[in-house]
Structure formats: C-alpha cells, structure tokens
Chains A and B, each alone.
Chain A
Amino acid sequence: MHAITYDSPKSLAQALSLLATAGEKARVLAGGTDLIIQMRAGVRKPEQIVDLKAIAELQMIAFSPQDGLRLGAAVCCARITEDAVIKQHYPGLVEGAALIGSDQIQSRCSVGGNVCNGSPAADTTPALIALGAQCVISSARGTRTVPVEQMVTAPGRTVLQPDEILVEFRIAAPQGHSSDCYQRFIPRNEMDIAVVGVGAAVTVEGGKFTAVRIGLGAVAATPLLAKAAGDSLVGKSVSAESIAAAAVLAQQIATPITDMRGTAEYRKHLVGVLTRRVVTEAAARAKAK
C-alpha cells in the first residue's frame, strides 16, 4: 500500500476541519472492509485517512417512537444485528446488515460505508431505500439531508463532496401495522455478493396497503427506488394478484447487466420473484403487529 497519514479525530468538528483542509487528498475510514482492500489494490489512493470511528455521532444508535431511528454511519453491522430494538422495528434492515460478509467482516463493516462505497449490490441500501432513510451529511460549510436513493450516482460514486461526511441515517418510526423485509439471491448459502437484492417496507390497515416502498439492488448502475411498483399497491388489498402486478412494475425499471453472477434476463426474473417474496413477507410481519 502507498504511504498515508492517519488521523482519528474525537469530534465531528475536528473531522470536518481536517477534511476542509485536505479536500480530495483525504478519505474517511469507517470499518475499512472496502477501503483498505481498495487502497491495497491501488484502486483508491488517498494520502490522508480520517478514521471516523472515535466520533460519538457516527457510533450512535438511538430510537424513539416519535423520532424513529438515528443510526450513526460508522456503527458496525454486528451491533445492528445484536440490537433488539432495531430488530423489532426494522427487521429488513437487520436482514440486509446480517448478510454482509463473515463474522469478522460484521465486526467492522458499517451501513454508512456500505452506502458510501457506492456498490450497486450493497445489501443494506435497498432496505434503507424501502424504509425511506434520510442521510444526514455534514461539512464545515453546513449540514444537508439527502434521501438514501439519491446517494449513489454511479458505481463507486456518491453525491458526497470531498469535504463532506455522512454522519447518520434517520429512519421514521414504523406507524401502525408496518414492517419491512430484505432478501437477496445468491447461488450459495452465504459469503457472496447479491445477484439481485430487494427490500420492501409496507404499512397495512384493514387488509389493504396504505404505504409501500420497494428498493432494488444489483439491477442497475445504482440501487433504485421502485416508486411506481410501491405506489401501485397503495389502496389495494394484500393479495397475490396485487403483489404480482407490483412485481412486474419493479421489473420494468430494472436495467441489469450480464456478468459472472447472472445474465440480465435472469436478474430481471429474480426482481419479480424477490419483489413478490419481500412484499408478501413484509405484509405478513406488518399484520402480525
């Protein structure tokens, strides 16, 4: 690996001022499970590493029925899968987080890193899209909020400017009979990258959908919000027919590529299968509440 300098600021203000000075030369480090590999391979060559793990805001897990979940961007996935409150309110997010790598990787990898690495196949991003997560981004210039589906602009690229840090995700508290689900397809049991991943978050009242959001992964250059598919279910009764029709709409926005993990046709097919499965499961979970 090339020579680097390393800083571990203890406060967000310190980190932001480091980035304001360093600009493009710096890159922030959370778990390092993507970045360190990329630096070793010479894919990314930052001169200055700013480790965010000692900053309290980035390690926060806070839930309240009014404000919902505040999830620090650097919280490792092991903490998420161990968290009973997150499991209860956002099981789909836990499903996405639990699928990333081995126990060794889980100890380090973060949801913030998963989004900022910008992979179209990131497992937590479709779950976050389904939940309508908002990304709180700070720089020395101020703070802005970006819907998670707008974070990734191309493979490996995000809306973040060189002086900005993704600090936390905000996810609304589930209202009434609401729940979510994430599933991915891989050709083996675990330790693989999604061929397709789909997340859904639904609210059900009196047998009818009142809100549905569906997120798709690994079927386009960036993770996608399948807006028309989700909207089509609102007001419809929870049935195999309505869900199947929504799955067709989800398939229509998928523009997958053919690669070693699967052909474009196969991926389109899987979008339909997984959309039906996750919406059905999320609805069952919502009704059980």
Chain B
Amino acid sequence: MSGKVQVEMALNGEATEFLCEPRQSLLEVLRDVLGFTGSKEGCLTGDCGACSVVLDGRLVCSCLVLGPEAQGKAVETVEGMAKGNTLHPLQQKFLEHAALQCGICTPGFLVAAKVLLEKNPNPTEHEVRYALAGNLCRCTGYDKIVRAVLDAATVMQGR
C-alpha cells in the first residue's frame, strides 16, 4: 500500500524528480526528500503559512498539498528568491527593517509577499496586511514586516 511514486516537477525553474509516499506532503518532500529546508512547518493545518510556496503561479500551503499533486507542476520556494549572492529586494528589506526575530515565519512571508507584489506592485498598507493574513508571526507584531514589504514595493518600482 505504501509504495513510493515517482514525481517530476520544476523546482525554482529546475527540472526535479523525486520519489515519495503518496501520504507525504509537498512540504515534507521539499524538506526531507529534497533538502530544501527553507519552507517551514508550523501547524500542518493550513493556518500559519510558514510552509507557503508557489504552485503553478498560485500561493499555497505546501503542508496541504500531497507530494504526487506536484506532478508536472512548477513549484517556487524561498530558495528561488535570491539570485546568486544578490538578495531579492524583499529579503533585503526584511533585513533592513528587522522584520524577523526567530525567523520561522519569514520564508512564508517572503513568498507570500512576492506573490502579492507580482499581482499588485503598489499595494496600500491595508492590502499588504490583508494579503499576508494567511501568515502568522508570533514574534514581530507584524508592523516591521508590513513596513518591509511596502519599502520593497517602492524599491522594486524604482521609486
């Protein structure tokens, strides 16, 4: 019953193949099978957003996706955000604004914020808070995260 299945997906743009048990989540696959430990496990119930990744262009909780569901799909994780040694503007602004403390929530916030800014390059504070409502942080109180995202939006638009 627990035979492994072979899955092919594009992970941060690179063709990737893996074997997993169907009961394993995409999060488990990323972390334990592929060694991509950027995505974090917080709740495993879709509430905290620490496991957020982009699946075929949509933001999802990777804890609520089964490994085999990634077959033929494009998956983007926090590991795909920096280009070589150059951080993504969101990552840079999170550092500058000290928008993290323990850091468990940070990869999820970065991925969610990246999706937001791709859809809406110039969001209001309200829109940022609304778009990040699926990401929980127990450390920062959110304010610095919101400021970092707004600042990154400004930088990314070259303003």
Contacts and interface: CB of A to CB of B under 8 A. Distances in A.
Interface in A3-50: 3-6, 8, 29, 31-33, 36-37, 39-40, 47, 49
A55 to B, nearest CB: 14
Which of B23, B25, B52, B131 neighbours the largest number of chain A CB atoms within 10 Å of its CB? B23
Interface stretch (A104-112, A159-167, A207-215): A104-112
B21 interface: yes
Interface string B82-95: 00000000000000
Contacts of B115: 103
Interface residues of A, number: 30
A266 to B, nearest CB: 25
Contact of A49 (B59, B60, B66): B66
A103 to B, nearest CB: 5
Contacts of B69: 6, 8, 32, 51, 53
A32 B21 contact: no
Contacts of A6: 5, 22, 66, 68-69
Contacts of A141: none
A6 B3 CA distance: 10
A68 to B, nearest CB: 27
A31 B69 CA distance: 10
A6 B2 CA distance: 10
B146 interface: no
Given A3-B2, A32-B66, A37-B45, A190 B22 contact: no
Nearest to A53: B69
B23 A1 contact: yes
Interface residues of B, number: 32
B55 interface: yes
Given A37-B45, A37-B64, A190 B58 contact: no
Contacts of B2: 3
Interface string A53-77: 1000000000000000000000010
B71 interface: yes
Interface in A75-95: 76, 78
B134 A103 contact: yes
Contact of A103 (B68, B71, B131): B131
Contact of B66 (A36, A47, A101, A107): A36
A101 B43 CA distance: 15
A230 to B, nearest CB: 33
Given A1-B23, A36-B25, A104 B52 contact: yes
Contacts of B133: 102-103, 190-191
A32 B26 CA distance: 12
A289 interface: no
Given A3-B2, A36-B64, A78-B58, A105 B23 contact: no
Contacts of B3: 5
Interface of A: 1-6, 8, 29, 31-33, 36-37, 39-40, 47, 49, 51, 53, 76, 78, 101-105, 107-108, 190-191
18 contacts: A2-B23, A3-B21, A3-B23, A4-B22, A36-B63, A36-B66, A37-B46, A49-B66, A53-B69, A76-B58, A102-B135, A103-B59, A104-B46, A104-B52, A104-B112, A105-B64, A107-B55, A191-B133
